[in-house]
Chains A and B, each alone.
Chain A
Amino acid sequence: MDETGALELAAQAVGYATACGADAAEASVTIARRFHAEARDNVVAKLEQATAKSLHVRVFSGGRRASLTTTDLTADGLRAAVARTVASAAHVARDPLGGLPDEFASDSPALHLFDASVEARDAGEKIEEALALERMTRAYDPRIVNSSGSHYNDATSITALANSAGFAAAYSSTRAGRSTSPVATEADVKRTASYGTAGRHLGDLESAHHVAEMAGRRTVELFGARKPTTMRVPVIFERDVAAGILEDLLAAVSAANVAVGNSWLAGRLGERIGSAHCNVVDDGRLDGKLGSAPFDGEGVATRRTSVFEAGRLHAFLADTYYARKLGVAGTGNSNGNGVGANSFYLEPGKATLQDLIASTPCGVLVLDTIGFAHEYASGTYSRGARGFFIRDGELAYPIDEFTVAGMYPEMLAGIDGVAGDLRFDGAVVSPSFRVAEMTISGS
């Protein structure tokens, strides 16, 4: 199915909804042709190739809203499911803030989201790439005697959106990625780490050789790790770990969470929360990036939104409903069913990660964390971690089996150094940064 076919299908769903009595409706169709090859040792362990089609519909009926997600795109199946959805709105409370946006994207920015060479790539070549990455990874160090697999994946997607207000637009995009997860053994201890790269264009990807080297290094460099003592020290978060912190921050600045009390930032718009280094942006219009799109999940034009400016909380990210609810401006951040990121990132600084380490007399470099936030109301951060102890500006020895903890307000206020190593390998990304003081819990 091409963009025109996807748009016709979306329009058809909108037509079914209004025919069932909905006052307004919106439908988006996503068609993704996906490829994934996993190589392990000299074997292709997995080969997955398929086209996933799905349709998401939102209906508004007498101020009540309901939604549908379906993979049954047959005319009869779709008509029945839409009718069921319109009927289910009867159980919802009337809400005058519901409804389609007031304004839709009217421009067609050249965002370069599609790379024809991804679509044209031969399956055999892609499989060979996964096998080659696996070989390179195993060759990095003699202690790497096993792996959890090396991967190549890509997708070619069509996104089409139509609504009863007359908006209809579609765009095509590609993405590709390679990653590997070696397992190394030394003195009966197994260690693993992963490293990967992703982008919309094949040319944006880091080389297979670099991916193998980064994954290999991260796996073997922590052998001999000790458990640190419990202390309060400066903590440097390497960029991939830092991106995880930005994920939590995204949840806290999401108007959908703010509106229901599930954010420690509720009611704090305009306040200075972070340090001068805390500049956080959401941008849907960066050229060729994974977080870019011409319009969001409701057809609203994407844009650049400054979320934190020199530490001051400048904006919450909102879709149409939650913008109305909070009385703030919409930011083009609908993901179709709530609030999501475009490219959400901490602005890079001028230092290198090495500079941050060199200017830390005593501290900790965190290279990996496990655990996740389960709520955003209290603003607590606590994760299992591994990395290096820093002494006199140098990596002294590897450490693991400890936790790093703090409260978000203090962490953001404590950012005293940001590196320039930002990369856009996802929608939520960050450069490495340092927090002046956090609690390390070990022995």
Chain B
Amino acid sequence: MIDESTLARVIARALRRGGEFADVFCERRTSQSLRLQDGNVHEAACGLVLGVGIRVISGESAGYAYSDDLSLEALLQAADAASHIARGGNNGIAEPTLRHEAVASWYDGLRDPADSARYADLLARADVAARAYDPRVVAVNAHVGDELQEVWIANSEGRVVHDRRPMVTLGVQVVAGDAQERSSGYVGDGGRTSLAYFDDHSPEALAREAARIAIVNVSAVAAPAGEMAMVVGAGGGGVLLHEAVGHGLESDFNRRGTSLYSGRVGERVASELVTIYDDGNLPEERGTINVDDEGVPGQHKVLVEKGVLRGYMQDLLNARLMDAHSTGSGRRQSIRYLPQPRMCNTYMPGGESSVEEILASTERGIYAKSFAGGQVEISKGDFVFMIGEGYLIERGKVTAPVKNATIVGNGPDAMTKVTAVAGDSRLARRHYTCGKGGQYVPVGVGMPTVKISSITVGGTRHDG
């Protein structure tokens, strides 16, 4: 996108007031999508992001500027703006000699752009399948899109890497019910692949699943309120790990000492049944990256092993300050933002129990089959997640579906109360996006069926 001699010149300019490190993040992202409502393709959208972000690191400080204009003059101006973070350091550096580094590939970045005629077909098939599922279906809203993000990252240490990251998404929301009572179900899928993915993962199956959840929620009873046991479903239950533990292990919070997990590597932070990985190398998953947005290859990381905290997710800035190495976790939404340490695909491997014995051992509780999202407060570790599909467990049996409710808990407390882990670990359907500091990046989550002995369910039904 920009020739190497220009990149080298921009890096030298960025460091002319001092600073230990500078990098240039060049991005070209093209996207197209179609949206369906009322049985018709309602609109088409195209997107193009093109620009360059320039960062200077000086100690704990980062200076940042970006430019949508790729002229040398505009790039040097942005380098000047970023350079102001360093004051009176060295008197500049020589232009670095840049070397291209090849990286392993976990997805096919060279595929052809999708044929947009196929989009409309996928949407129409999803619409027909959802409406045929049940007469109580009142509305189907769906979108399909694909994107290709191409990045070139060059830094003052002389590295240049290039990555082409595809992403396809098909999402279906189904609203069901009558005039009195309405509910909805949403399911999305896709990943770092091509539209051919939907040959094996049909839009009909996706739409029927969204319709099934909407119908289940129509007949749902009010969720109970109070403390009780919870069984977390395989796959989508992984949102629990992402919120209760994952964010707290991002190195910015830990370097600053604002996370409750700060300074606790080597300590027991969960039941010994709990092992958690974050992995950037799972083929075609949403959270997979050949390199992160600082040019470091994505990696498989052990976060928690048999209940013991093993390490944090590091980006370059925090790793330098913590005398550690980047774990390939520096990610950003686009050229508009500085990178932050982020999760990729976070999951728990399977354990020894069976789903049947976990349910049978639960006298009264809630079965959270899937979550619609979650959030955490880093310092004290309190988290929430919102049930997408949930049921009551009464005397060891899964009974009535319950309405959307929020579950609230505290990270280490909930993880210590993990009393059983089943062998059915799998990754969730690919539709999760994580927000942090106003930046959104695609992620994956995964989980086996897990029992937590006690947690607070935020329903409205209080049985006294």
Which residues in A have some Cβ–Cβ distance to B below 8 Å?
40, 43-54, 64-73, 77, 81, 84-85, 88-89, 91-93, 95, 123, 146-148, 183, 189-192, 227, 230-232, 259-262, 264, 266-267, 337, 370-372, 374-375, 377-380, 382-384, 386, 400-407, 438-443
Q: Tell whether A375 pairs with B184 under 8 Å between CB atoms, given A192-B258, A260-B37.
A: yes
Q: Please indicate the chain A residues that have their CB under 8 angstroms from the CB of B43 in the complex.
A: 65-67, 92
Residue of A nearest to B39 (CB): A93
Alpha-carbon separation in the docked complex, A93 to B225 (Å): 46
Judge whether A374 and B388 touch: CB under 8 Å: yes
**Which one of B38, B372, B378, B410 contacts A401 once the chains associate, using CB atoms below 8 Å?**
B410
| B104 sits at the interface (CB 8 A) | no
CB contacts (< 8 Å) of B116 on chain A: these are 88, 91
Q: Within the assembled complex, what's the spacing in Å between the Cα atoms of A227 and B117?
A: 55
A377 to B48, CA, bound (A): 32
Determine whether B200 belongs to the interface, using a CB cutoff of 8 Å to chain A: no
- A91 B378 Cβ-Cβ under 8 A: no
Having A372-B373, A382-B404, A439-B460, one finds 9 other A-B pairs with CB under 8 Å, namely A71-B49, A146-B258, A190-B258, A382-B223, A382-B459, A384-B406, A403-B384, A439-B461, A443-B456
In the complex, what residues of A have CB within 8 A of residue B336's CB? 50, 52
> A375 contacts B462, CB within 8 Å?
no
Known: A190-B379, A403-B408. A264 touches B182 (CB 8 A): yes
The stretch from B54-62, B150-158, B163-171, B305-313 touching chain A is: B54-62
CB distance from B207 to the nearest CB of A (A): 15
Find the A residue at minimum CB distance from B458: A403
Known contacts A85-B46, A377-B182, A262 near B175 by CB under 8 Å:
yes
- Residue with the greatest number of chain B CB neighbours at <10 A, chosen from A93, A148, A227: A93
Across the interface, A81 reaches (CB within 8 A) one of B46, B85, B138, B385, namely B46
Asked whether any CB of chain A lies closer than 8 Å to the CB of B32, the reply is yes
- The answer for the CA separation of A386 and B379 in the assembled complex, in Å, is 14
Using known A-B contacts A72-B50, A183-B379, determine if residue A66 contacts B404 with beta carbons closer than 8 Å.
no
CB-based contact A371/B380 at 8 Å: no
Select from chain A the residue with minimum beta-carbon distance to B59: A43
Cα-based distance from A47 to B406 in the complex (angstroms): 37
Interface size of B as a range? 35 or more
Q: Are A46 and B403 in contact (CB under 8 A)?
A: no
- Which residue on A lies nearest to B38, using beta carbons? A260
A-binding residues in B (CB < 8 A): 32, 34, 37-38, 40-51, 59-69, 78, 81, 84-85, 116-117, 119-120, 138-139, 141, 173, 175, 177, 179, 181-184, 186, 217, 223, 225-227, 256-258, 260, 336, 338, 372-380, 382-386, 388, 403-410, 456-462
- A46-B62, A47-B61, A191-B380 known; A406 and B460 CB under 8 Å? yes
Assess whether A183 is in contact with B376, with CB atoms less than 8 Å apart.
no
Instruction: Report which of B67, B377, B459 forms a contact with A50, defined as CB distance below 8 A.
Output: B67
A279 to B458: give the CA distance in the assembly, Å.
Answer: 28
CA distance A413 to B69 in the complex (A): 53
Contacting residues, chain A, for B50 (C-beta < 8 A): 70-72, 77
Q: How far is the CB of B324 from chain A (nearest CB, A)?
A: 19
Q: How far is the CA of A227 from the CA of B225 in the complex (A)?
A: 13
Q: Contact at B456–A67, with CB atoms within 8 Å?
A: no
A-B contact pairs, 19 of them (CB 8 A): A40-B256, A48-B65, A66-B43, A91-B116, A146-B256, A192-B380, A230-B462, A375-B184, A375-B186, A377-B183, A400-B380, A401-B382, A401-B409, A401-B456, A402-B458, A403-B405, A405-B225, A407-B460, A439-B461
Determine the chain B residues whose CB is within 8 A of the CB of A73 once the complex forms: 68-69
Is the beta-carbon distance between A370 and B44 smaller than 8 angstroms? no
**Would you call B84 and A47 a contact (CB within 8 A)?**
yes
Q: List the 8 closest A-B pairs by CB distance, nearest first.
A: A403-B458, A261-B139, A93-B40, A441-B225, A384-B384, A261-B175, A190-B379, A88-B44
